[in-house]
A and B are shown apart, each in its own frame.
Chain A
Amino acid sequence: MSSRVPLPGFALSLGYTLTFMSLIVFLPLAAIAWKSADLSWEQFVQTVSHPRALAAMRLTFSTALIAAAINIVLGLIVAWVLVRYEFPFKRWVDALIDLPFALPTAVAGLVYASLYMKDGWIGRFIVPMGIEIAYTPAAIVMVLVFTGFPFVVRAVQPVLEEIDTDLEEASAILGATRWQTFWMVLWPNLRPAVVTGFALALARGLGEYGSVIFVSSNLPGKTEVAPTLIVARIEENKFAEATALALVLLLSSFALLGLINVWEKWSRRHEA
C-alpha cells in the first residue's frame, strides 16, 4: 500500500542504508568468508577437532545450555510473580530485570568474580559449606545466568498478561488443581515464549566473552570457552584457526535463531 504513496527519499534512504550496512557489517563478514575460503576442509576439521578446541566447544555449549535452562525456571517464577501478584517496590523490581542487558559485561564479570571468592559477599557463606564456585565452570554458568536472565522473563511476561484468567477459573471449577491448571492450561500457551527466551539466552551465552574471562580461570582444556580460545588464536596470529572456530560459533547461533523463527511460525499456524 505504502509503495503507491509518493513519499520522497526512497532512493536516498536505500542508498545510505545499504552503503552503511555494507561498510559496517557486510564488509567485515565478507572478510570472514574470504578467510574461510582459504581454509581447506581437512584444515577446518583438524582445527575444530583439536582437543583444546573440542574442550572449549564442549564447555561453551554445556555452560550456555545449563544457564539457559536455569533461566527458564527463574524466568517463569519471576514473570509469574510480576504479572500476577502485588508487592511493595514491584515497579522497581520490574525495572531491575533489564539491568543485565544494560550493564557492561566487564562489570558483571568483575562483580561476579569477587562475590563468590572466599572472602566475597556470597563466597564467605557458601565456601565454608564446601561450595567452590570461583574460577570453576560453575562460575561461568552463574555469570551466563545473569547475562541471559531478562530474555525468558521479558518473553513470558506479555504472554502471561494476555492469558484470560477465565480459562484458569473454568479449569478450577472443573476440579483441576492449581498444578494441573498450570501444566494443562497455562503451559501450552507459555511454551512458545519460553522457547524463544531460552534460545535467545542460549545464543547470547554461546558468544559471551567479556564476563566469562573474569570469572573463569581460562585454563586451556579445562575452563576455557570458545570465544576465549578465538581471542587466544588471534593473539597468536593464527587467523585461519580463529576463523574456523568463529565459523562454528556463527553457524550455531544462526541455526538457533533460524530454528526460533521456524518454531514461531509453526506454533502460530497451529494456534490459528
Chain B
Amino acid sequence: MKPDTSTAAQPRRQRAAQDPLWLRVLLTSIALAIVGILIFLPILHVFVHAFSEGPFRYFEHLFGDSANRDAILTTLSVAPRAVILNLVFGVSAAWLIARFRFPGRTLLLTMVDLPFAISPVVVGLALVLLYGNQGLLGPRLSSAGITVLFNTPALVLATTFVTLPFIVRELIPLMESVGPDEELAALSLGASGWQMFWLVTLPGLRLGLLYGIILCSARAVGEFGAVYVVSGRIAGRGQTIPLRVEQLFQQYQSPADFALASILTGIALASLFARRLLESASGPRKIQSATTSGDAA
C-alpha cells in the first residue's frame, strides 16, 4: 500500500505484525459471510419479495389497499410529531448539559439515556397504566373529553419516549466540541440571547441536527413494541406501517407485506447512506473551521 522503501526494516517489521495470507483470506471470507447472511441477504429478500409480482402490483399493494394507505398516513402523522418534539427537547437539553455545570447534571445525562434501557413493551405498559381506563390520569382526562390511549396521542407519546435520546446524544458532544467562544463573542458584540441562538448556536449545530433528525426519524417510523401496546390495533385507526406489517404477516399476505416492509427498509438504508454522506461532509468542514479560527488568532 504505502510505497515507502526508505527504511529497509519497514517491510519486515510490518510482516511481523501481519497475519499470514491464508488467515487474512479466511477471516475476510468469514466476515463477509457473516455480514452477507445476517444483513445483506435479508435486505435483498425484502426487495425481491416486494417486487415479485412486478412494479405495478407493488404500488397497488401500497396505495390500492385502504388499510395500507391509512397505515402510511398514520406513520406520516405520528413520526414527524415525535421527531419535532424530540428536536426541540434535544436542542434545549443539549444547551443545558453542554453549556452549564449544575448539581444533578450527571444524573440528567443518565436519565436522557434511560429510554435505551427500557423494553418498548414496558414503555407501552407504562402509558397504559397512566392513560388507560383504570390508569392514573386516564379517567380524569376522559371525563374532560380527551382520549389518549388507542388514539394518535398515545402513538406520539410512545414514539417520543422510545426515540428521545437520539437527537440530544448527537447534539451534546457536538456542542461541547464547538465550545462557547463564538456565542460569547456574539453576546459581547451586543447580540441578544435569541439572536445568538438563531445566528450562532443553531448554524453551528447544522450537521448534528440533520444527522440526529435522520436517526430519530428512522427509529420513529419503525417503532413497534411500544406502539403495538398502546394502539389497540383497530384496522385503519392508529395503525402504523410496522403494525400493519405484523397484521399482514398474520394474514399470510406476503407480497403486500413485503411491499410495506420495503418502504421501511428503504428508509433504514437511506438513513445509513445519509449518515455516510454527512460524515464525509463533516471531515473537511472540521479542517476548514480549524483554519478559520487559526486565521482569527
Question: Which residues of A are in contact with B by a Cβ distance under 8 Å?
Answer: 1-3, 5-10, 12-14, 16-17, 20-21, 24-25, 27-32, 34-35, 74, 77-78, 80-82, 84-87, 91, 93, 95-100, 102-115, 121-122, 145-146, 149, 165, 168-169, 172-173, 178, 203, 206-210, 213-214, 227, 230-231, 234, 237, 239, 242-243, 246, 249-250, 253-254, 257
Contact = CB atoms under 8 A, between A and B. Distances in A.
B39 A7 contact: no
29 contacts: A8-B193, A10-B102, A12-B92, A20-B88, A21-B89, A24-B157, A25-B164, A28-B123, A28-B127, A31-B126, A32-B125, A77-B34, A87-B28, A96-B35, A96-B39, A103-B264, A104-B223, A104-B224, A105-B222, A106-B261, A106-B264, A114-B49, A115-B45, A122-B37, A207-B119, A207-B122, A231-B121, A234-B229, A243-B129
A105 B225 contact: yes
Interface of B: 1, 13-14, 16-17, 19-20, 23-24, 27-28, 30-32, 34-35, 37-43, 45-46, 49, 85, 88-89, 92-93, 95-96, 99-102, 108, 111-112, 114-115, 117-130, 132, 134-136, 157, 160-161, 164, 180, 183-184, 187, 193, 196-197, 215, 218-219, 221-225, 228-229, 241-243, 245-246, 249, 254, 257-258, 261, 264-265, 268-269, 271-273, 275-276
Contact of B164 (A24, A103, A111, A121): A24
**Most chain B CB within a 10 A radius of its CB, from A86, A91, A178:** A178
Contact of B130 (A27, A113, A169): A27
B136 A207 contact: no
Contact of B161 (A3, A24, A214): A24
Contact of A110 (B13, B39, B223, B257): B257
B16 A107 contact: no
Contacts of B180: 2, 5, 7
Contact of A178 (B19, B221, B269, B273): B19
Contact of B128 (A20, A213, A239): A239
A254 to B, nearest CB: 6
B246 A93 contact: no
Contacts of B193: 8-9
Given A107-B245, A114-B254, A173-B16, A97 B161 contact: no
Contacts, number: 281
B264 to A, nearest CB: 5
B95 A110 contact: no
A254 B161 contact: no
Does more than half of chain B's interface fall in helix, strand or loop, or is it mixed? helix
Nearest to B258: A110
Contact of B125 (A30, A121, A173, A242): A242
Nearest to A203: B117
Given A32-B122, A99-B272, A207-B121, A172 B93 contact: no
Contact of A14 (B96, B101, B135): B96
Contacts of A10: 96, 100, 102
A234 B132 CA distance: 11
A84 B19 contact: yes
Contacts of B184: 5, 7
Interface centre among A28, A80, A114, A168 (most CB of B within 10 A): A28
Contacts of B92: 12-13, 16-17, 20
B1 A86 contact: yes
B100 A20 contact: no
Contact of A227 (B39, B121, B161): B121
Given A25-B161, A214-B249, A249 B122 contact: yes
A145 B89 contact: no
